[in-house]
Amino acid sequence: RCFGADAQKETFLLSNICPQAPNLNQKVWEKLEKDELDYADADGEIWIIDGPIFADLNGGDTRTLPAGIAVPSAFYKILIEDQNNTPHTVAVNMPQSVKGTELPQQFTTSIQPIQPQTHLQFLPNLPPATREKLLNTAWPMW
């Protein structure tokens, strides 16, 4: 299901922690993580890339905690699956301001709009045509 107990423990290291609002962390994001595990159990291996989106990268002001830790305005997650040598991707972009009643699929997007928000380029080593297709389409996970 996952990479074992040691890998699970490593997810709790302070270097892997980012502030999330309770309605995101304990509700919508948690539901997404459960969906990922169910999907991987049913269909095999999936690869996941996720991380924060900071407001100051997009012209806004990033809030900081008293300890100086930056609080992201949103989080993204990219899931990649390879079905019979044909990769598929789905991405979500969830703001910290969720109410907690939303479903993860309400935040489905393609990878392309996440790149400028994070200042990252995803899947750079793929052939250009394959990369372009994966960046601009979202396969229906739900």
First to last CA, the chain: 19
Is the confidence at residue 1, as pLDDT, over 60?
no
pLDDT in tens, 41-74: 887 788 999 999 999 988 999 999 998 999 999 9
Number of Cβ atoms within 10 Å of the Cβ of 27: 17
Q: How confident is the model at residue 20 (pLDDT cuts 50, 70, 90)?
A: very high
How is residue 99 annotated by DSSP? -
| Strand-strand pairing, 86-95 and 108-109 | antiparallel
Least Cα distance to 2 among 37, 28, 32, 35 occurs for 37
Question: Quick one: CA torsion of 88, 33, 49, 132, rounded to 10 degrees?
Answer: 30
pLDDT at 2: 64
pLDDT at 17: 83
Q: Model pTM?
A: 0.89
pLDDT in tens, 96-110: 999 999 999 999 999
